[in-house]
Amino acid sequence: MNEKQAPERWQLPTDAVRRDVRELIANARHAAIATLAPDTGAPQCTRVGLATLPDGTPLIFCSALAAHTPALLADPRLQDPHPQSPGARAAADSEHRGDPALDTVDWDGPGNLRVDYVLPAAGLEVQAAGVLWPQTGRSDRGIDAETVARASRHRLVWVDLGR
């Protein structure tokens, strides 16, 4: 490099940089997600929970109550497999709006709602999806409704992906 030439600021990552980034993500518990609001196109940024799979793939935890969720649901790069549960349908009250089988949380006050999502990339094959919400007095995958209710008001949302 001669003195008149600006230094190169961007370089391809090295193995050491990749390792450091993986370690940073593995130890983080929160991240920021920035999206464009689907109705206005305005930028928005929110804090999200972060975890990683054993292979280091990051998982971002989103809720329907967050500002970014409508943007993620409208993004063509993602798909919503619409996981359902007969237990959620059975637990719906008479004033429920929408399909109660899609609900993922059992709240006092506002009632049962869909607030938890798994949104795989659009190119992945969804083989099955559901919400672990056994009907009262029954079990689902060996777990009874009372155990699920004691664990959390939120119900586990799952998606099986093909290769």
Last residue of a domain, one of 43, 75, 107: 75
Q: Same domain, yes or no, for 106 and 158?
A: yes
Indicate the average pLDDT of the chain.
Answer: 87
Residue 52 pLDDT grade (very low, low, confident, very high; cuts 50, 70, 90): confident
Tokens of 103: 């609900």
For residues 102 and 145, membership in a common domain is answered with yes
Domain boundary among 57, 75, 93: 75
Answer yes or no: is 5 within a domain: no
- Among 53, 75, 97, the domain boundary falls at 75
Task: Quick: pLDDT tens for 104-161.
Answer: 998 888 888 898 889 998 989 999 999 999 888 888 888 888 888 889 899 999 999 9
Q: If residue 159 lies in a helix (H) or strand (E), which one and from where to where? A: strand 156-161
* Domain annotation covers residue 128: yes
The predicted model gives 73-99 an average pLDDT of 91
Cut 0.75: pTM above it = no
Strands (E), 2-125: 30-36, 43-52, 58-61, 105-107, 111-113
Range of the domain at 116: 77-163
Q: Is residue 132 part of a domain?
A: yes
- Is pLDDT at 82 greater than 90 in this prediction? yes
Q: What digits encode the pLDDT tens for the residues 23-41?
A: 988 899 999 989 998 889 8
What confidence score (pLDDT) does residue 2 get? 55
Domain check: are 69 and 82 in the same one? Answer: no
Residue 144's closest CA among 133, 156, 157, 155?
Answer: 133
Structural domain total, the chain: 2
- Residue 1 is assigned to a structural domain of this protein: no
Compute the chain's Rg from CA coordinates. Answer: 21
Residue 70: its pLDDT value, please? 87
- Residue 22 in domain: yes
Residues 81 and 148 in one domain: yes
